[in-house]
């Protein structure tokens, strides 16, 4: 699972929409004993987005962020303004040394690569993970 990072929207959607594809992705990627990489830019976006969800009180946001931080290793990267998602996601992937970002952002998911980084939706990634490999010689 170390070949990808999760976009902020995936963490948020997993937090608020139990049983959704983003929640299934997060459960597969964030397992005890296995950490995935992320950046402070991603975590700051997650926290800001959760703070805008009325169902999440401040204490719940703090608890959720604490839980997420248990399962990630933070890598350094250049800072980007909060609204520069494309640049932030690409920089995060490069800092993590991965070529793929799972994001359901409607402007980026399942589009062409951006600067060598593939942005894949949670739905597409789940299909990929559950599709058996082709038979030998195929």
Taking only the tens place, the pLDDT of each residue in 83-97 is 888 889 999 999 999
What's the confidence (pLDDT) of residue 54?
86
Residues 114 and 109: their CA atoms lie apart, in Å, by 11
Environment class of 74 (CB within 10 Å of its CB; exposed 0-12, middle 13-18, buried 19+)? middle
Residue with tokens 């992937």: 93
Q: 113-122 burial, b if ≥16 CB within 10 A, otherwise e?
A: eeeebbbbbb
In the predicted structure, residue 30 carries a pLDDT above the cut 80:
yes
CB contact set of 137 (below 8 Å; sequence gap of 6+): none
Percent of the chain with pLDDT over 70: 96
Between these two residues, 87 and 112, which has the higher pLDDT value?
A: 87
* pLDDT mean over 53-64: 88
Q: Which CATH architecture fits 4-126?
A: 3-Layer(aba) Sandwich (3.40)
SS3 137: coil
What's the confidence (pLDDT) of residue 111?
77
**pTM of the entire structure?**
0.87
């Amino acid at each position: 699972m170390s070949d990808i990072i999760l976009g902020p929207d995936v963490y948020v959607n997993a937090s608020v929409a139990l049983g959704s594809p983003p929640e299934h992705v997060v459960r597969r990627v964030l397992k005890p004993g296995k950490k995935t990489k992320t950046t402070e830019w991603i975590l700051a976006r997650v926290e800001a987005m959760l703070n805008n969800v009325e169902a999440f009180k401040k204490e719940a946001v703090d608890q959720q962020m604490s839980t997420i931080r248990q399962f990630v290793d933070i890598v350094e990267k250049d800072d980007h303004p909060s609204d520069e998602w494309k640049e932030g996601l690409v920089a995060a992937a490069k800092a993590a040394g991965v070529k793929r970002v799972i994001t359901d952002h409607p402007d980026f998911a399942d589009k062409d690569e951006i600067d060598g980084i593939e942005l894949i939706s949670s739905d597409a990634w789940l299909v990929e993970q559950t599709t058996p490999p082709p038979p030998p010689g195929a």
